[in-house]
């Protein structure tokens, strides 16, 4: 996840506060190395919804740059 966050900070005009508020709190819940897919979740349902609405495309590009796809799983 660190490499994804670093990629976003280097390639997009987001300040570190965006990283700290939204991306630093994402948790990797599963890593499928066979299919090259990372499953992540946010801490709250609101954060999950906000990230999907505002940062999904950026996260997709950042994960693809690392050779992975990702899925944002629902909070319980």
For residue 76, the model assigns a pLDDT of 67
Please, which pLDDT band fits residue 17 given cuts at 50, 70 and 90?
Answer: confident
Query: Is residue 8 within 8 Å of residue 14, measured between CB atoms?
Result: yes
Rounded to the nearest angstrom, the gap between the alpha carbon of residue 49 and the centroid of all alpha carbons in its chain is 13
CA dist 25 and 15 (Å) reads: 16
Classify residue 75 by its DSSP letter.
Answer: P
For residue 33, the model assigns a pLDDT of 94
CA dist 46 and 32 (Å) reads: 26
User: Domain residues of the chain, as ranges?
Assistant: 2-73
Residue among 12, 19, 18, 75 nearest 48 (CA):
75
Residue 12 pLDDT greater than 90, yes or no: no
pLDDT per position as a tens digit, 21-74: 899 999 999 999 999 999 999 999 999 999 999 999 999 999 999 999 999 998
> Has domain 2-73 been given CATH number 2.40.50.100?
no
For residue 63, the model assigns a pLDDT of 95
């Amino acid at each position: 996840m660190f490499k994804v966050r670093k990629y976003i900070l280097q390639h997009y005009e987001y300040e570190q506060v965006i990283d700290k508020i939204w991306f630093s709190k994402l948790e990797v819940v599963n890593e499928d190395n066979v299919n090259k897919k990372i499953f992540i979740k946010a801490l709250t349902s609101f954060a999950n919804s906000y990230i999907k609405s505002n940062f999904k495309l950026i996260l997709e590009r950042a994960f693809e740059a690392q050779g992975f796809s990702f899925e944002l799983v629902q909070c319980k």
